[in-house]
A and B are shown apart, each in its own frame.
Chain A
Amino acid sequence: MTTTSLTSSQGAGRAGDKVFSGAALAAGCLILAVLFGVALFLVIQAIPAFTAPAADIQGGEGFFAYIWPIVIGTLIAAIIALAIATPVSIGVALFISHFAPRGLASGLGYVIDLLAAIPSVVYGAWGAAFLAPQISPAYGWLAANMGWLPIFQGPASATGKTILTAGIVLSVMVIPIITSLSREIFLQTPKLHEEAALALGATRWEMIKMSVLSFARPGIISAVMLGLGRALGETMAVALVLSSGALTASLIQSGNQTIAAEIALNFPEASGLKVSTLIAAGLVLFVITLAVNMIARWIISRHKEFSGAN
């Protein structure tokens, strides 16, 4: 190689370095800009809904009277989903990390990941066509025998398309998320802690209780919060499964609505102020899930050893 070609290639190299690092930096900044833009454009398009006279908003009583029942509905659905998904996910994660035979464990993990691969609209269709009719007799039983509880107040929905069914479908969609995150954390338990517990004569369950679960508690909390973020924002399962209506305390009657499903059901035909109202509802959902996710990420980052859990 001659000197000239060497120097010239060096010159090109320097420019290439600048261009390349500049492009990388720009891409990183673009992501920040996109997240900022999400908030900005939602706010811009939502402003008419906040400033419009109360009578023009759907329901005729202003934006906040419109939004709070569906916020409550969203929370109800998410809480049902988490109440079911959390114990099941922790059990599945423990099964894969500490109970299943070594050779099978990764294969079983893949099977659970398949749950996450199935598109949400398919879950919605499954919930509406298969689960709801199958589960409605159980609702009848609940209404007859536990109807004194406000949440099981009858008459039960004959179609089974209730917020409880939607919550069950949501829980199925949340299980793989909480499972895979908790599994990662369980596997990071220091081996010496586990072996020390076993050497002291602990049974497997005592070992898990003492070393694995106490080590993983913050990780489990953040995994559940990330699952909550997913459950809050999930649209299709609720839109297809729930026959929506006004806010009711009973989980086994048709009624209630979530923000995401409200947007999906109404946005395609909306125009004018209705679009702004729905975008404002989306903004509310965005703020709620952002808060939940940031708290979860903050818990993770506070315990740096869980960084592999992402």
Chain B
Amino acid sequence: MTSTLTPVRKRSALTKGQLPKYAPYVVLGVALVLGAAILALIGFNAFGWGVVSAILFAAGLVGWSAAVEGSRKAKDKLATCLVVGAFLVALLPLISVIWTVMVNGIPGLLNPGFLGTSMNGVTGVFDNRAAEGTGPVVGGIYHALVGTLQITLLATVISVPVGLLTAIYLVEYGNDRPLARAITFFVDVMTGIPSIVAGLFAAAFFFAVVGPGTKTGAVAAVALSVLMIPVVVRSSEEMLKIVPNELREAAYALGVRKWRTILKVVIPTAISGIASGVTLAIARVIGETAPILVTAGFATSINNNVFGGWMASLPTFIYTQILNPTSPSNPDPSSQRAWGAALVLIILVMLLNLGARLIARVFAPKAGR
């Protein structure tokens, strides 16, 4: 520093050998300017600017730190830069996905009748006309919406009792018995079953029991239950475990039976956590594509019967509209519908996630007294 010229600003011995507080901001400014200059030479784009500036920033800060503070502090700075960089890198796809879905999905969503009509009778002729600009983009996702809601509802109706009772067994009756440990282990293993294998299982089960080629909404619901049960068990188990033992003992001391204690004391205490866990489980399975693809087929018309006939769902609708456009020569209307459906699906999932958080917060038992 300029200590010989201005002795007043001489740095204290305690802060000697440290970078000044403003160092990162200086380096950031220099890196941004240099980055812009380099990008201007090879053709400017915002993404490249960010990447080049980030690299320059890390190199500059670490280099300066190595010169002033020594290698240990420099390594620390490098690690900090890498960790923050990793977080920013992880954010990129999230922002990009949401942006892409918004930009592409809103035009599809704004089509009149998009939420209220099905794809019944919508053929390539209409799409060709829409692509030429002589007609509107027709067709919608009503049938897929109905299918998704029905299949998910049936899956929930199957999964919640089974999952909740299993969690009750594990926490209240299991006592770390071999069976309880086996169930815990296999529930964990079940969490890792690939979704398509769950779909194949349901398909294989119904093929063997009902008859080859059975594809209905109920088969899909069974497939989703296989994915959903372990999630419900895990979250309910965690919630039941944190119910204080004093509550149970107080109930027993009053002469209340175990099952009534569980129903009237334990579950009401844990209900907010259980409900939010179930909501998260629904959010997880509502977007599953593969199991529905192999179990429910794809329909273009409205099917209100879960137990008979092929059924559409939002994820499979997106999948088929992208992979097999209604009009192979003009895929644009199809992809517009697909992005619109993707937007609806993401909104549904986000609402469920938000709902889970709200339930956990609003219905949480009052802490303290």
Contacts and interface: CB of A to CB of B under 8 A. Distances in A.
Contacts of A2: none
A285 interface: yes
B315 A119 contact: yes
Contacts of B87: 91-92, 95-96, 100, 108
A285 B196 contact: yes
Interface string B194-221: 1111101101110110001100000000
B91 to A, nearest CB: 7
B287 A286 contact: no
A5 interface: no
Contact of A175 (B90, B189, B319): B90
Given A30-B162, A35-B189, A233 B72 contact: no
Interface stretch (B16-24, B115-123, B179-187, B358-366): B179-187
Given A37-B201, A37-B205, A125-B318, A268 B293 contact: yes
Nearest to A25: B169
Q: By DSSP majority rule, is chain A's interface helix, strand, loop, or mixed?
A: helix
Contacts of A79: none
Q: Could you say which of A226, A267, A294 has the most chain B C-beta atoms within 10 Å of its C-beta?
A: A267
B192 A292 contact: yes
A23 B258 CA distance: 14
Given A99-B83, A112-B90, A21 B173 contact: yes
Contacts of B84: 95, 99
Q: How large is the interface on B (under 10, 10 to 19, 20 to 34, 35 or more residues)?
A: 35 or more
Contacts of B350: 114, 117
B289 interface: yes
A204 B193 contact: no
Interface string A278-310: 110010011001101110110001000000001
A28 B164 CA distance: 10
A94 B83 CA distance: 7
Interface in B251-291: 257-260, 262-263, 283, 286-290
Contact of B201 (A38, A232, A235): A38
A130 B96 contact: yes
A245 interface: no
A149 B316 CA distance: 38
Interface string A95-132: 11001100000001001111101111111111011110
A288 B179 CA distance: 25
A299 to B, nearest CB: 12
Interface string A22-39: 011111111110110110
A283 to B, nearest CB: 8
Nearest to B92: A172
Contact of B183 (A31, A119, A230): A31
A129 B187 CA distance: 36
B205 A41 contact: yes
A53 interface: no
B247 interface: no
A109 to B, nearest CB: 11
Interface in B47-85: 72-73, 75-76, 78-80, 82-85
A266 to B, nearest CB: 10
Interface stretch (B34-42, B97-105, B125-133, B135-143): B97-105
Nearest to B75: A205
9 contacts: A27-B164, A32-B186, A94-B86, A114-B94, A124-B319, A125-B342, A229-B194, A233-B195, A282-B196
Given A28-B180, A90-B86, 18 more contacts: A20-B262, A27-B169, A32-B182, A35-B189, A89-B90, A95-B87, A117-B283, A117-B353, A118-B346, A120-B290, A206-B72, A235-B196, A236-B315, A263-B290, A285-B196, A286-B194, A290-B189, A290-B192
Interface of B: 72-73, 75-76, 78-80, 82-87, 89-91, 93-94, 96-98, 100-101, 104, 161-166, 168-170, 172-174, 179-180, 182-183, 185-198, 200-201, 203-205, 207-208, 212-213, 226, 229-230, 233-234, 257-260, 262-263, 283, 286-290, 293-294, 297-298, 315, 318-319, 322-323, 335, 338-339, 342, 345-346, 349-350, 353
